[in-house]
Structure 1
Amino acid sequence: MTDASAAAPLPHPAPVPRLDELIGTARVVALPLITRFRGIEVREAVLIEGPQGWTEFSPFAEYDDDEASAWLAAAIDFGWNAQPAALRDRIPVNATVPAVDPDSVPAVLARFPGCRTAKVKVAGADQTLAQDVARVRAVREALGPEGRVRLDANGGWNVDEAEHAIHALAPFDLEYVEQPCATVEELAEIRRRTRYMGIPIAADESVRRADDPLAVAEAGAADLLVIKAQPLGGIRRALAIVEAAGLPVVVSSALDTSIGLAMGAHLAAAVPTLEFDCGLGTASLLAADVTRAPLVPEDGSIAVRRVTPDPELLDRYAAAEERVDWWLERLGRCHDVLRLRDAQ
């Protein structure tokens, strides 16, 4: 790991356009999901056309304005600035398996053609370890011995629960376990306890939702990082975190539309070394998208390209008026946060 104290400071986010420039082209959409995921059945997003193309602002509803403002900074960066040079034109991606019954696993995986890696959601508040084991077993059986299975606990276990669960799930030959516990201290402890098993620990929320995204690397609490363009404030800032942390990374998404996934694909294309399949195939979890050429997996990968929404689809999946008002008011508040930041 690079000594973060000696690393160059993270880049300042892009200058903030006027609010009317953002709202002038903003479209708020509500896209149904194939299956309930992360507690929601409809994914809402604000799509904005900037000088460089369309971009996305879609922080989850429970995030406060300070946290959501990083997502707006990323949207501005992608829509208003040229992006770093791409080192690859396609990004290998994983399938994502929500907390479904084992019998539903084959149908979920079929939506990710060619993907030989699957990320399986575990540790849900409404799920038992026995259900997690059954789901992971079904994924391993579907992928066969050569497929790669990774788990995502979203910080749902304490250290003792995580240790017990990892022991129970280890027979399925895990690629890694993502965010088994919530805090950096807990991640460091579970990594210490399970190191002899040879199962890497990945950090996600401890990077993207942390005041200091480098703290997890400094603490030796993870073997790799999961990075996402929107929560980290944009592609350039995410790349700076990768460089400073000095750990392998997986580029992932937050259940974005294809426009947000395009941002993630551009980030993955600019990462110097990409050792793992990325979590950028999640358009396959949407029952609808804003383009007739969505960024869904083809032969296990997605293309690195900008996405332009289809006007008819924008109209068809336009959010209800009260939700449009809610999102535009939120955008305005986050814009205020960014303007105050720039003034400091």
Structure 2
Amino acid sequence: MENTLDCIVIGGGQAGLASAYYLKKWGLQYLILEATEQAAGSWPKHYDSLTLFSPARYSSLPGLRFPGDPNHYPTKDEVISYFNEYTKYHKFNVHTGEKVTEVRKNGKEFVIVTAKGNIFYSRAVISATGAFSKPNVPVIEGSERFNGKMIHSSQYRNINDYKNQRVVVVGGGNSAIQIAYELAQISNVSIATRKPISFIPQRFLGKDIHFWLKITGVDTLPYGKKFSLNTSVMDMGVYKEAILNKKPDRKPMFTNYTGEGVMWSDGKEEKIDSVIYATGYKPNVNYLTTLNDAIDQLGNPLQNKGISTTMDGVYYVGLSGQRSFSSATIRGVGADAKYVIKRLKKSIL
């Protein structure tokens, strides 16, 4: 078809933008389709106090350095501003407000349909929506009876609605600790985890941990999903001390909900006002269900290092553990995009 592009990128967050960089650099005709009104991925939806866990010097996408002091830890607003500047700087071809609802294959071409009813055609598709846009909320007995507030961390914004509440944050990763720590300043907060929280020093011998990950090569080793989902918390010492001082405290995961609260593992029932799940995300690739065998029954992409193992022309960038420990991060997504698009280019040209 005359208007067929080489590639359509679904999602305009860090993975989609890194993909666009290499697609443009290597002369491929592409288009990014982004569901929201700006190419910033899930970042605008995150809680207000979120900061990157890596300093600015290790938080750049390919082709543009993250601005400001290279040793500072960028805020949510700084990241969004950087993405917007990145898009303008490279003059990427982006259509915002175009949520992809369906991807079909017609011969060697892909047909991409959006919620607005617009149709696009391409020789290849990069799914770049997989890491942080579909909340994972575990099924726990009795949750339907719970009368309190129950949300995922993706819905949490700030402490304003939680003053003097009894709050439980479920999860032992960086986001769980950040949220619980700030809520503990104005509320009675517990972190519920299935195992003790593991802490990693943010700085070692005067250097941020990402310096050591980079020079040792650990950050880009092909560890895969098992290691990428490690829940160790990067800490300057603040969070570990807070847990020791029980602000917030840590409790073994509760066994079930009651009408007014939860039942803890020791058999004690407690009234709870709010539960916040900081339990990560599932791959968000529902628009691929119309492609036979592109994803499994649980909605997980069938892929190896970002290349579909079941559907020629389908690629992924930004999945957790896709090729390394850092695949789903700003610092790691560029390397994966480069790897994927080299193979994409070879297959269509």
For the criterion TM > 0.5, the same-fold answer is: no
User: What is the TM-score of this pair, normalised by structure 1?
Assistant: 0.25
Rg bigger for which structure?
2
User: What is the TM-score of this pair, normalised by structure 2?
Assistant: 0.24
